Amino acid sequence: VFAGLGWMMTRKLWTEELSSKWPKGYWDEWLRDPEQRKGRHVLRPEISRTFHFGVKGGASANQFGDRLTQVFLNPDPVQWNREDLSHLQLDQFDREYWSMLRSARRVENVEDAVERAKEGDVRLEYTSFKQFQSLATKLSLMADEKAGIPRTAYKGVVETRPFGDHLLLLTPPLKDLQKSFQSAITR
């Protein structure tokens, strides 16, 4: 949902769906709209492949500049043609992601989440966007949304690694999330 920094799409998506209706301005907001997204998601690498270098004249008055200046590019080249990317196929990705969500230890508050994330993956649930904003703010994460989705979220789940190793996950309740992962779970 944070497509403004860098993204790509297939030629087929461009030629058969988007090029004929591409807007003259504010394309990043338009691209986030549910009518364009059609339930699709953007997979984002944990190590950034884009770099935000502008501090003056940026969109939205550079409101995220303080956070974006902390993003660094991966210094190590990757031979993508030698990588097995089958784990990114939707069903397999969702199956593995759901398993990871279920196995993350559920905690009740930010303090406990931060402490337990030193030992392993943890999950902190939110039941409203207002509650998400409060938790995200306490964790120094982006607390806004675009088109009804928290920034950087995958199916409502926002990830952070406060100590580098283990995930701290902000999630809707698992019973609500299960609906989003149902097709992958039942296969």
Q: Which residues pair with 173 in a beta bridge?
A: none
Question: What does the buried/exposed string (b/e) look like for 90-128 if buried means 16 or more CB atoms within 10 Å of the residue's CB?
Answer: eeebbbebbeebeebebbeebeebbebbeeebbbbbbee
- Residue 128 to residue 154: CA distance in whole angstroms: 16
Backbone angle region of 39, left / alpha / beta, with phi > 0 → left and psi within -120 to 50 → alpha: left
Burial of 155 (C-beta count, 10 Å sphere; 0-12/13-18/19+): middle
Are 156 and 105 in contact, with CB atoms under 8 Å apart? no
Residues acting as catalytic residues: 28
